[in-house]
Amino acid sequence: MHRLWLLFVFTISLSISAGEPAMAATQLKDGLYANFRTAKGDILCRLEFKKTPLTVANFVGLAEGTKDLGGGAKAKGDRFYDGLTFHRVIADFMIQGGCPLGTGTGGPGYTFPDEIDPSLTHSGPGILSMANAGPNTNGSQFFITHVPTPWLDGKHTVFGHVVTGQDVVNKIAGGDTINAVEILRVGAEAEAFKSDQQAFDNLLLGMEERQKEKERAAVEETARIIKERWPEAITT
């Protein structure tokens, strides 16, 4: 009987452990989340899929293996982030991951534009943001802050923040492994958010069209000002 009781308790414990992500999802507010599993604990981040849809679609697509890769170190269908490391950790600054080579020089084999939203800033610990090599060079690498880093505002795309697990962020050391990145969708809007290659392409096209329209509007405004101030001027 004692052995049967121990077996029962062990079975229940396994069931609870296996169900933790699903149970956590039922307690979360509606939204899209990424759960980073590490040996030191989990880091749960809320993703800003409404304000930075292109960046989030890219991240989620890589995490779930639904993005096409342009010669990246992993094949389409692989969960891109699983097994990668936090290759760069700077105390009192941030932890950085998402490089398939583990050197900080790798990526998914393509880049995409910055998606800066002025309401999303590097305002404190736990900010999830894209690492890059300059303007419009986003790929797969990301970082999570230890402290406010306002000098990065406007230069790096903020696309989420830590909900729980900032203590884990603070424990991460260089070379620690990302065992898995699990995506949690809570609520109808999050469930409807698409992150496959077609969705990413559509979002990218929309961004490019909006940028062209913005540039056209700027040219027209400049022409209007010139005509208003110097009506006799001849433009070429």
213: number of Cβ within 10 Å: 10
96 is catalytic: yes
Where are the domains positioned within the chain?
27-229
2 is catalytic: no
Nearest Cα neighbor of 113 from 55, 45, 47 is: 55
Active-site pick, 132, 138, 141, 166: 132
- In this prediction, residue 208 carries a pLDDT of 81
Distances (CA, A) of 141 to 24, 94, 138, 169, 178: 26, 13, 7, 16, 13
Q: Which residue has the tokens 């110097």?
A: 230
- In this prediction, residue 72 carries a pLDDT of 59
**Both tokens assigned to 107:** 């990526």
Nearest Cα neighbor of 84 from 139, 20, 152, 163 is: 139
Active-site pick, 37, 46, 87, 88: 88
- In this prediction, residue 79 carries a pLDDT of 95
8 is catalytic: no
Active-site pick, 35, 58, 96, 141: 96
Active-site pick, 87, 122, 156, 161: 156
Nearest Cα neighbor of 42 from 149, 181, 145, 142 is: 181
d(CA 106, CA 85): 12
- In this prediction, residue 68 carries a pLDDT of 86
Q: Which mean pLDDT values do the consecutive 10-residue runs of the chain (236 residues) have?
A: 44 40 68 99 99 98 90 75 98 98 95 98 99 98 99 99 98 99 98 96 89 75 79 71
CATH for 27-229, options being 2.40.100.10, 1.20.1260.10, 1.10.150.120, 3.10.20.80: 2.40.100.10
Active-site pick, 8, 93, 198, 216: 93
152 is catalytic: yes
**Would you say 145 and 126 are in contact if contact means Cβ atoms under 8 Å apart?**
yes
- In this prediction, residue 73 carries a pLDDT of 63
